[in-house]
Amino acid sequence: MNTKKHSTRVEAGMVGVALAALVAAGALVASGDAFAAQTQVLETGSTLLYPLFNLWVPAYSEKHGDVKITTQGTGSGTGISEAISKVAQIGASDAYMSDAQMKANKGILNIPLAISSQMINYNIPGLNGEHLKLSGPVLAGIYDGHVTYWDDPAIAKLNAGVKLPHQQIVPVHRTDGSGDTFIFSQYLSFSTPGWSKSVGYGTTVSWPAVEGGIGAEGNPGMVNAAKGTPYSIAYIGISFKKATEQAGLGEAALENKDGKFVLANQKTVGAAVEATAGKTPANERISLIFAPGAESYPIINYEYAIVNTAQMPEMAAALKSFFTWAINPKGGSSEHFMKAVGFVPLPPQIRALSEKQIAMIH
C-alpha cells in the first residue's frame, strides 16, 4: 500500500545519499587535475638549502606572481626521493644521487645552484668562544665511540694548551635522510680509512652505537640539541651560522688535506672550490670534500636541485625560469643572498654546466 511504497522510497533515499557521496567523491578525485589553475611548485629537501630558498621565494615571487613555490625543510633524502617520484618538483639536496639511483631513475637531473659548507659545532661550557682544532680521524673516533671524553689524548694533542674538561662527549647525528650526514660522513670516509671501511658515507649511515649519542631532525634540530646538551658535538650547515652564534655554540677549526686547520669562510671555501671544481663532469655529480690546498676548507659541497626532466609544459617553463634566475649573479646568486646564508656562488664554468642541464627540462 501507500505506506510501504513511501517507506521504501525513504529507505532508498537515505542509502542513496550515502552512495552518492561516495560516487561524487570518486568523480571529483578523477577530475582532480582539471582544477589546478596556477603553477604550484613544491620544493622539499635539504634543511641546509632551506634558509636560502626562503629568501629566494619571496624575492622571485615579486616578479613572477603566477608561480607559487612552497618550501619545506625535510632533509636531502626526502628531497631526492620526492623529486624522483614527482611528488615534489624541486628536490633540494646537499648530496648528489648515487650511481644506482641514477640507473634506476633515468631522466633525473642534479643541478648545482650554489656552493655551501658545513661547520662542526660543539657546546663546551667555557670553551665555546675558542675554535677547538679537530681532524677527520678524531671526529671519526668521536662518532664511532673510540674517543669518549673531551680530554682524550687525541683531542688534547691537536689542542695543546687548552684546558679540556673530563666530560663524556655527546655526539649528535641526523636521524632523517640528510645531505649534511652525506658530506660529513664523506669527510670522515676520505680522511679516515677505518671509517670508510666500517661505516662509509651516505645520506643515511648506520651510526655506530655510542653511549649517550642522540639523534636530531634537520639542521634546526641539530642546533637545538647541541644548545640544550652540554658537551655535545654536532655537524651543522653553514646557513645556520646565525643560529649557532645565537645559541652560543663553538665552531671547530677542521684539519684539511694539507694538514692545516681552517674555519669556513669565503676565502677557505673559495680555495677549495678552485681546487676541485675543475673536475666537475657534465652531469655535475661530484664530491668537493677534502679538497687539497693549504687554505681549503674540507667540507664544502654543491647544493643540488634534483629535478625530473619530464614535466608539464607550464611547469617546465616555470622551473627553467626559476633556476636560471637562481644561479644568475644578478638574481638569486647575488652577494645579498649568498652572504645571508654564507654560501659561495657557482664559478662561471660550473654555471655554464648548470645552464646546460637546466635546458634539458622539458
Partner 1 sequence: MTSFRAWLAILAGALPASLVAVLLFITLYAWPAIHFNGWGFVVRDTWNLGNAYGSPVEVGGTSILPGASYGILFLIVGTLLSTLIALLLAVPVGVGAAIFLAEAVTGALRIWISFFVELLAAIPSVVFGLWGYVILIPILSHYVFPVLSGALGFIPIFAGPTGSGYGLLTAGVLLSLMIVPFIAATLRDALVSQPAPLREAAMAMGATRFETIWRVILPGTVKILISATFLALGRALGETMAVLMVSGNALNYLPQNVYAPISTMAAFIVSQLDSALQDPTGMAVRSLAEIALVLAIISIIINALARLMLVVWGRVAIPGGRS
Partner 2 sequence: MATAVQSPLAPGMRASRRVFSILGWLLTGLSLVLLSIAMVWILEVVFVRGISALTPTIFTTVTMGSGGGLLNAIEGTVVLSVGAMLLSVPLGICAGIYVSEFGFGRWAFSIRFLADVLVGVPSIVMGYFGYVTMVEWAGWNFSVAAASIVLAIICLPYICRTTELALHQIPADLREAAYALGAGDGRVILRICVPAALPAILTGVLLALAVSVGETAPLLYTAGWSSYLWNGALTHSPIGYLTYAIWTFINEPFASANALAYAAAVLVTAFVLAINILARFILGRGRY
Cell 676565502, residue? 267
Is residue 14 near partner 2 by the rule CB under 8 A? Answer: yes
* DSSP classification of residue 230: T
**Cα gap 289→233, rounded to integer Å:** 20
User: Is the CB of 17 or the CB of 209 nearer to partner 2?
Assistant: 17
Answer for which of 64, 72, 286, 351 binds partner 2 (CB under 8 A) is: 72
Is residue 91 near partner 1 by the rule CB under 8 A? Answer: no
- The partner in contact with residue 243, picked from partner 1, partner 2, none with C-beta cut-offs of 5 to 8 angstroms by kind, is partner 2
**Cα gap 66→315, rounded to integer Å:** 11
**Cα gap 171→2, rounded to integer Å:** 80
Is residue 340 near partner 2 by the rule CB under 8 A? Answer: no
**Cα gap 229→291, rounded to integer Å:** 32
- CB count within 10 Å of CB 58 equals 9
Site string for partner 1, 17-36 (x = CB under 8 A): -x------------------
Is residue 170 near partner 1 by the rule CB under 8 A? Answer: yes
Is residue 74 near partner 1 by the rule CB under 8 A? Answer: yes
- The partner in contact with residue 111, picked from partner 1, partner 2, none with C-beta cut-offs of 5 to 8 angstroms by kind, is none
Answer for which of 51, 77, 112, 250 binds partner 1 (CB under 8 A) is: 77
For residue 299, report the phi and psi dihedrals to the nearest 5 degrees. -115, 90
Site string for partner 1, 96-115 (x = CB under 8 A): --xxxx-xxx----------
* DSSP classification of residue 149: B
Query: Cα angle at 180 between 178 and 186, to 5 degrees?
Result: 110
**Cα gap 178→49, rounded to integer Å:** 12
Q: Which of residues 222-251 bind partner 1 (CB under 8 A)?
A: 225, 228-229, 232
User: Is the CB of 78 or the CB of 185 nearer to partner 2?
Assistant: 78
Q: Where are the beta strands (DSSP E) in the chain?
A: 39-45, 67-71, 90-93, 108-123, 133-134, 170-174, 214-216, 232-237, 250-251, 253-255, 261-262, 300-308
Is residue 218 near partner 2 by the rule CB under 8 A? Answer: yes
C-alpha cell recorded at residue 354: 648548470
Interface residues with partner 1 (CB under 8 A)?
8, 11, 15, 18, 74-75, 77-78, 80-82, 98-101, 103-105, 168, 170, 173, 175-177, 200-204, 206-217, 225, 228-229, 232
Interface residues with partner 2 (CB under 8 A)?
3-4, 7-8, 10-11, 14-15, 17-18, 21-22, 25, 28-29, 32-33, 35-38, 40, 42, 50, 53-54, 57-58, 68, 70-73, 85-87, 217-218, 220-221, 223-224, 227, 240, 243, 246-247
